[in-house]
Structure 1
Amino acid sequence: MLSQLTVSNFAIVKFLELEFHSGMTTITGETGAGKSIAIDALGLCLGGRGEAAMVRPGAARAELSACFDISAIPEACRWLRENELDDDQQCILRRSISSEGRSKAWINGQPVPLAQLKTLGQMLLTIHGQHAHQGLLQSQTQQSLLDQYAAHHSLLEACSTAYRRWKHLDNELVRLKEAQEQRQARRQLLEYQVQELDEFGLEPGEFEGIEAEHKRLANCTTLMEQSQRACYLLSDGEEVNALGLLQQALGEVEAQASDDSALEPAVALLHEGMIQLQEGAAELERYHQSLEMDPERFHELEERLSRTMTLARKHQVKAVDLAEFHNELAQELSAIGAGEERLEQLELERDQARDSCAQAAQRLSKSRQRYAKELNKQITANLKELALPHAKFQIEVHFDEQSLSPSGSDRLQFLVSTNPGQPLQPLGKVASGGELSRISLAIQVITARKVATPTLIFDEVDVGISGPTAAVVGRMLRQLGESTQVFCVTHLPQVAGNGHNHMFVSKSTRGKATETLMVPLAQEQRLDELARLLGGDSITDATLANARELLAD
């Protein structure tokens, strides 16, 4: 619950430090005194939008802080722990707004983005504004109130998750179908290209082999002549050859080596040279014997080489890369085929996801219908207490599977009949302004009992209500305050008298400066304030007696 609020240099407030207690606290004051200023300050502490105009004239910045006891709010405690902002079940929200409009926020002394302040604030406090009855005419607001009362968060989340998955798959399917024509055109081209390259059948590394063999056959005559000449010089020459000369030199050195051992290394090297020369001559002879003119093979190589070059130019790649390019095209063609299979699979997944979404929406709808019946009875009973004895209230929940959304498939409408014999009709067509205010209040009081936040604020929600009806409203809010901390800004003495606590807002002017003050009232002070609300500025014995009756009740 809210335990303390400190406000400095905010609007016409110079400084306020307020302590709050459990139960129902009523807030009253003169017209224009700023009864809602504490609520505005709380709104900023909970992440509301800050503006430079909110800073008190002449001040550098507005400072606001709110302290909450969260020992009974496990959700808030868990959130603070998960975000490493916990401080022993205490929660202090602080906000600073400069005169230039710059804003800063803190949770338990640690700077945080505004989004975190808003997230935490939703767990701590709920504000019901004086214009809530206007929003009550909107279908979205009506659905939100029913869901709030039903508290079926898991069903809402399941429906939202199923809807997001269905829409994701549906969008992916649309994108794939839009690209289908392009894929078909690309597939036809690839099929032609791959078939052409398949028929040619160039293997990886084949082009290099063709090129080398073609070059050898093209120079076969020269190679034969030169290899034969080399063989003659090495070993085949009758008069002189390299092998014979080396053999002769080796013999002479070997003869001398017996007289000088220093020649032994030279002898060894010459022996090695002799072996290498013999092996080289033999290898060259084998090479010469292998050479053979083959015009037919040369022609085949010429044609394959030419075809390779032609295809390479056609596909704008290097001839050496043609086989790899062929493989890439084949892989792309295979991927397109897999993409079409994915299209069929995706259609099946999309249809299954839609069925799951519809089932989740149906479960949510059944829960809404169940709690709508429960809420109908309670709101109708409350309306009878609020001087609408013949009123009937009904929430119509119509399930339409064709209109799936993240919040289900229901078309929801609040229907009311306020007079005998009058059929149930949509709220906006039947209720007058005063009736709408009472219906709105009855709904807010009932749904507030199911709100997870431990602090509720009602900001002049009793507008348009007076007399005995106001007394009923006061009792309703007091009863709510027995289990929940309730703040109620009001101008009705019947409501103010029902508060467990009472705070008074006043405005004073000193020179050119105006200041708003807010103070708790003791019992005698409450009597005077209730008498003022009853009779205006003139407080009489009669109004004081009436005020005592209100407090006694």
Structure 2
Amino acid sequence: MLLQLTIQNFAIVRALDIDWQQGMTTITGETGAGKSIAIDALGLCLGDRATTNVVRPNTSKANLAATFDVTNNQLASTWLKAHELDAEDECILRRVISSEGRSKAYINGSQVPLAQLKEIGQLLINIHGQHDHQLIVKANEQRKILDAYANHPQLLEDVKHYFHQWRIQVSELETLEKSKQQREAKKQLLQYQVNELNEFSLQPDEFESIETEYKRQSHAQHILSETLSTVQTLSENDQFNLVDQLQRSHESINSLAEFDPELNNIATLLNESLIQLEEASLDLRHYHEKLELDPEAFAHLEERYSIAVQLAKKHQVAPEHLVDFHMRLCKELEGISGDESRLSLLTENIEQSKASYNDACKLLTQSRRNAASDISKRITLSMQELNMPHGQFDVAVEEDSAKTLSLNGADTVCFNVSINPGQALEAMHKVASGGELSRISLAMQVILADKIVSPTLIFDEVDVGISGPTASMVGAKLQMLAKNTQVICVTHLPQVACKGHQQMFVAKLTDGEHTETSVTELSEGARIKEIARLLAGDKITENSLANAQELLAS
């Protein structure tokens, strides 16, 4: 429940601290005094949009704070803990609005996005405004009211789920169908390219091997000639070869080492060099003997190398990347072929989603019809209690499975009323006057509030257009509602004001230069005078005071 509302520099309020009680609180005051100013401030604490004109003139910012007891509000407590904003049994919502229009929001001292104020606000309080009756003639609002009364969130969620699933699938199908021609052309090109590369069938790392072998064979004659010449120079030339010369040098230095041991190391190095030279000469001889000139094999190798280079140039890739490019084309072709299968599968899935949607809609329709029957009886009874003795109310739920799929199901919801005897039920906006709409709206709000428990309910002049015995019944209904929840009601009716367990009086004070609003809790004596003022106007008489005492006593 709401415990306290603190307002600083808001509109014509300089500073207010209002303490609220359990039960029913009524707020009254003179016309133009700003009876709804506390409700407006509270709305900003709950995340309403702020404008620059809400800040009191000649001040830099407005500061608004609402304190709630959440001891018995499990939903709010759970939300606060989930967002790490809990502070035991209290929740303080604060809003600071600068004169430039900038705004900051706080929950239990921590700055938060404005959206979080709105989220927690929905779990703490429910505000009904004086223009709500203008909304109930709209089809969408009527459907929302029925769904709120039926309290079937899972059925609504199932319909939304299958609707979104169907819409996503339909969108994908439309996209695939629109690009079908382009995909077909792309598929033909890819198929040609893949077939060409399949036919060539270059293997991983093959090009590197081909390139190496091609270079070797294209220079085979030169290699043969040079290796033979080198072998001759190393060891096989009878007139001069390096092995013989090195052998003689080694023998010479080795013999000299007998006279100077320092030459032993050099002799050893020469001997090692001789061994390596002989091995090199032998290996080169074997290499030369293995070399063969095979024009036919070289022609085949040259052709394959040339084709690889041409294909790489054609596809604008390096030859060594041709295999990777081939694999990418295969995957792309596979993806396009998969799109054709996806088209067929999507068509089936769309029908399945539509069937699931229709099944969910049927369950939702049945729940709505059950709730419609119940709420129709209750509102009919409430209308008759609110001085419409012949009033009849009926919620019509028409299922239209042929219409385009909708996020809210297949139903059209229409509120029909009859006010006078013999009058047929017709759509509400056709037959109900403003005052009658206001009473019907109030009846709905009381019934919905009774059905959907909210810790705090605020009624902001919802009794406009109501008077006399009807006003007394409205007051009684609100007082009855206050047995289970906190009710705050801004009213101009004495019959409603007297039903409050607590009454606040709003006054506008001015010194000719400055204006400000005050909110005062009325004592028992002050309440009698205020009720008398509401009954008789500014000239309070003994009779109006007596009537006020009688109303309060009742």
TM-score band, normalised by shorter chain: over 0.9
Counterparts of 1:101-500 in structure 2, within 5 Å, are 101-257=101-257, 261-401=261-401, 402-500=403-501
Q: CA deviation at 1:472?
A: 1.0
Distance 1:123 1:287, change over 3 A: same
Q: CA deviation at 1:350?
A: 3.9
**Match of 1:536, as an amino acid?**
G
The alignment of Structure 1 onto Structure 2 pairs a total of residues equal to: 553
Distance 1:294 1:547 in 2: 126
Distance 1:100 1:232 in 2: 99
Distance 1:303 1:181 in 2: 38
Q: CA deviation at 1:547?
A: 1.8
Distance 1:4 1:209 in 2: 86
Distance 2:224 2:63 in 1: 102
Unaligned runs of 5+ in 1: none
Q: CA-to-partner distance for each residue in 1:349-373, whole Å, 9 max, x for gaps? A: 4443333333333322222211111
Q: CA deviation at 1:490?
A: 1.3
> Which secondary structure state, in structure 1, belongs to the residue aligned with residue 189 of structure 2?
helix
**Match of 1:519, as an amino acid?**
T
Aligned residue number for residue 61 of structure 1: 61
Please tell me whether the aligned partners of residues 361 and 404 of structure 1 are also in contact (alpha carbons under 8 angstroms): no
Higher alpha-carbon deviation: 17-26 or 322-331: 322-331
**Match of 1:423, as an amino acid?**
A
Q: CA deviation at 1:239?
A: 3.0
Q: CA-to-partner distance for each residue in 1:151-196, whole Å, 9 max, x for gaps? A: 2223323333333333333333333333333222211111101111
1:542 matches 2:543: yes
Distance 1:551 1:204, change over 3 A: same
> Which secondary structure state, in structure 2, belongs to the residue aligned with residue 449 of structure 1?
helix
**Match of 1:10, as an amino acid?**
F
Q: CA deviation at 1:329?
A: 1.8
Distance 2:171 2:258 in 1: 97
Distance 1:63 1:214 in 2: 86
Please tell me whether the aligned partners of residues 123 and 452 of structure 1 are also in contact (alpha carbons under 8 angstroms): no
Distance 1:164 1:94 in 2: 37
**Match of 1:420, as an amino acid?**
P
**Match of 2:273, as an amino acid?**
G
> Which secondary structure state, in structure 1, belongs to the residue aligned with residue 539 of structure 2?
coil
Higher alpha-carbon deviation: 116-125 or 309-318: 309-318
Aligned residue number for residue 509 of structure 1: 510
Q: CA deviation at 1:136?
A: 0.5
Distance 1:69 1:299 in 2: 94
> Which secondary structure state, in structure 1, belongs to the residue aligned with residue 162 of structure 2?
helix
1:22 matches 2:22: yes
Q: CA-to-partner distance for each residue in 1:99-153, whole Å, 9 max, x for gaps? A: 2222222222222221111111111111111111110101111111122222222
Distance 1:59 1:310, change over 3 A: closer
**Match of 1:89, as an amino acid?**
D
Distance 1:118 1:257 in 2: 104
Distance 2:478 2:90 in 1: 27
Q: CA-to-partner distance for each residue in 1:422-458, whole Å, 9 max, x for gaps? A: 2221111121222222211111111111233211111
**Match of 1:366, as an amino acid?**
Q
**Match of 1:314, as an amino acid?**
K
> Which secondary structure state, in structure 1, belongs to the residue aligned with residue 492 of structure 2?
coil
**Match of 1:478, as an amino acid?**
Q
Q: CA deviation at 1:266?
A: 3.5
Q: CA deviation at 1:346?
A: 3.9
Q: CA deviation at 1:395?
A: 0.7
Q: CA deviation at 1:265?
A: 3.2
Please tell me whether the aligned partners of residues 70 and 77 of structure 1 are also in contact (alpha carbons under 8 angstroms): yes
Counterparts of 1:511-526 in structure 2, within 5 Å, are 511-526=512-527
After superposing on structure 2, the runs of 4+ consecutive aligned residues of structure 1 that deviate more than 6 Å are none
**Match of 1:50, as an amino acid?**
A
Distance 1:310 1:390, change over 3 A: same
Q: CA deviation at 1:21?
A: 0.7
Q: CA deviation at 1:250?
A: 3.4
Distance 2:527 2:218 in 1: 119
Higher alpha-carbon deviation: 158-167 or 189-198: 158-167
Distance 1:247 1:237 in 2: 14
Please tell me whether the aligned partners of residues 61 and 96 of structure 1 are also in contact (alpha carbons under 8 angstroms): yes
Distance 1:512 1:202, change over 3 A: same
Distance 1:199 1:544, change over 3 A: same
Distance 2:54 2:279 in 1: 103
Please tell me whether the aligned partners of residues 8 and 62 of structure 1 are also in contact (alpha carbons under 8 angstroms): yes
Distance 1:483 1:525 in 2: 27
**Match of 1:71, as an amino acid?**
T
> Which secondary structure state, in structure 1, belongs to the residue aligned with residue 451 of structure 2?
coil
Distance 2:267 2:347 in 1: 86
RMSD: 2.1
Distance 1:272 1:345 in 2: 77
Higher alpha-carbon deviation: 196-205 or 400-409: 400-409
Distance 2:542 2:356 in 1: 70
Distance 1:268 1:162, change over 3 A: same
Aligned residue number for residue 5 of structure 1: 5
Distance 1:162 1:316 in 2: 47
Distance 1:305 1:67 in 2: 84
Q: CA deviation at 1:405?
A: 3.0
Q: CA-to-partner distance for each residue in 1:212-267, whole Å, 9 max, x for gaps? A: 33333333333222222222222222233222233333344444455655444334
**Match of 1:545, as an amino acid?**
A
Distance 1:95 1:287, change over 3 A: same
Higher alpha-carbon deviation: 447-456 or 329-338: 329-338
Distance 1:214 1:101 in 2: 78
Distance 2:45 2:323 in 1: 69
> Which secondary structure state, in structure 2, belongs to the residue aligned with residue 414 of structure 1?
strand
> Which secondary structure state, in structure 2, belongs to the residue aligned with residue 289 of structure 1?
helix
Distance 1:142 1:263, change over 3 A: same
Quote the sequence identity (%): 50
> Which secondary structure state, in structure 1, belongs to the residue aligned with residue 239 of structure 2?
coil
Q: CA-to-partner distance for each residue in 1:315-361, whole Å, 9 max, x for gaps? A: 22233333332232223222333343344444444443333333333
Distance 1:392 1:515 in 2: 46
1:71 matches 2:83: no
Distance 1:58 1:315 in 2: 74
